[in-house]
Structure 1
């Protein structure tokens, strides 16, 4: 079995298209099609359903996908380990929550880039659910996610602790008034966001009935909608400070058991920890206590 055939299989499965996979792999569609058919003949199963819109992965294909990801990552780790001497270098692809990137990582990434210019660092943002899936399936080498996390394949360590606050318009006066709002709207990131899940649980525990959430893809869009009085959201205290200081929003502190969340760095137990990864984690740990959240005054209630 040729590993390059498995790489092609993974690309086709991810794109749902032979043509788009060929473009990514800098080859022609006929070559991709032929290699997939040869792999199917060797395995004795169909890996894709062909249809007018492209292809979809069969149950057999979905079962081998995680193994393919681990195998290709292992081979990449072999190449990296063989050359990983001297100063940190090479590529490092990490993931992070958008809030963590905005609040915590900007100065850290700047310092890392200056200290280790030979490392090609890329950071992809996403929800906790998406980032965990990408780390588990070897698409990312590690990621900053919101805890708690329980998965047998993952190593995790707490790097930051965030204080969460309920964010509302300035006209809103306190948590006690939530129940009086008919079909309260929540302004949130897409499904899979841990802050969204915490907000849903918080409101449910308070007996607050909510309407269908409004989903947005950026922090600024969420804060703007909350400022306009469209709904409420739950975010780290430090991330909303500029809007609070500018008088755009109000913040409401939560009980300690609901208002704190650990930000974890997760990576696969079986992944090779390169010198670039080691240097990044050492810098993260050293800077963790130097990056305090800004202090906000309690909101009026």
Structure 2
């Protein structure tokens, strides 16, 4: 078994078939089939069950797949490390919460791109849960997420502090007034959004349960829906301050244990921190204390 075997195995597992994996790997299907059979022979286990629509991982294949992912990440990091002479260059793919990108990153990213013209920067947004998973699998070199994050494979650095506020249509008066309503709707991003989970917990502690959920894909849509009276949401104050000043929404301050959160930058503990990544963190946050997630 070698790294190329694991690469072929991962492609077949991801595509659920030999043909599509062969197309991605720029080879013929017979070569892929032969590599998989050789790998199964070497390991003396069956990795795939064959069926009319393709293949599905066996329990042994499920156990092997995380190691194939780790091998791919390790090879990518090895190439980066060998080529990295301390001068930022090449591709850099990082993630961010949409709120963090809107509130904090516009100016730092503009400064970074101007200072490091040899770096091809890609910023991908998602929920905290999605971004953590993408960092762990190596799809992202790192990401800005909402804390706390506790994972033994991740290194965590605090970069920003946020004040979250409950955002409601004008006229609510107090958060407790929600408990008197027959139906309470929350307007949120998709599942995996840390603000969504926190909002549900904040309301539950006040006896407000049985929530109806409206999901929207952008901050603008969420704020607009709250302004239209469709429900309440939870956002960083800086994101919704303008809407409050315009009289479109009202903001309700929360106690520190509910409203104060940290925005973290996470990356794999065992991954190579490229010069491009190190320069980005320095530009975005300046000196910060790095701590290991326990």
Which residue in the other structure is 1:134 paired with? 134
Which residue in the other structure is 1:175 paired with? 175
The reply on whether 1:151 has 2:151 as its aligned counterpart is yes
Which residue in the other structure is 2:273 paired with? 273
CA contact (8 A) 1:167 1:234 kept: yes
Q: Provide the C-alpha distance between the structure 2 equivalents of 1:253 and 1:104, rounded to a whole number of angstroms.
A: 21
| Partner deviation per Cα, 1:67-90 (whole Å, 9 max, x = no partner) | 222212212222212111152112
Q: Provide the C-alpha distance between the structure 2 equivalents of 1:226 and 1:63, rounded to a whole number of angstroms.
A: 45
Which residue in the other structure is 2:253 paired with? 253
* SS of match in other structure, 1:80: helix
Which residue in the other structure is 2:12 paired with? 12
Which residue in the other structure is 1:119 paired with? 119
Q: Provide the C-alpha distance between the structure 2 equivalents of 1:277 and 1:243, rounded to a whole number of angstroms.
A: 34
Shift of 1:5: 2.9
Q: Provide the C-alpha distance between the structure 1 equivalents of 2:56 and 2:39, rounded to a whole number of angstroms.
A: 16
Deviates more, 1:107-116 or 1:2-11: 2-11
Which runs of structure 2 are paired with 1:94-243 in the superposition (5 Å)? 94-243=94-243
Shift of 1:264: 0.7
Shift of 1:138: 2.0
Shift of 1:200: 0.7
CA contact (8 A) 1:92 1:121 kept: yes
* SS of match in other structure, 1:121: strand
Under a length normalisation based on structure 2, what TM-score does the superposition of the two structures give? 0.89
Q: Provide the C-alpha distance between the structure 2 equivalents of 1:17 and 1:106, rounded to a whole number of angstroms.
A: 42
The runs of 5 or more residues in structure 2 that have no matched partner are: 289-294
Q: Provide the C-alpha distance between the structure 1 equivalents of 2:39 and 2:8, rounded to a whole number of angstroms.
A: 10
CA contact (8 A) 1:108 1:287 kept: no
CA contact (8 A) 1:185 1:210 kept: no
Bigger RCO (CA 8 Å, 6+ sep): 2
* Number of equivalences: 288
Change beyond 3 A, Cα 1:189–1:16: farther
CA contact (8 A) 2:189 2:218 kept: yes
Shift of 1:118: 0.8
Shift of 1:187: 1.1
Q: Provide the C-alpha distance between the structure 2 equivalents of 1:105 and 1:58, rounded to a whole number of angstroms.
A: 43
* SS of match in other structure, 2:267: strand
Shift of 1:198: 0.5
Which residue in the other structure is 1:69 paired with? 69
CA contact (8 A) 1:186 1:210 kept: no
Under a length normalisation based on structure 1, what TM-score does the superposition of the two structures give? 0.87
Shift of 1:159: 0.4
CA contact (8 A) 2:134 2:140 kept: yes
Change beyond 3 A, Cα 1:74–1:173: same
Deviates more, 1:245-254 or 1:268-277: 245-254
Shift of 1:65: 2.2
* SS of match in other structure, 1:178: helix
Which residue in the other structure is 2:291 paired with? none
Which residue in the other structure is 2:47 paired with? 47
Change beyond 3 A, Cα 1:261–1:50: farther
CA contact (8 A) 1:190 1:215 kept: yes
Shift of 1:34: 4.2
Change beyond 3 A, Cα 1:242–1:18: farther
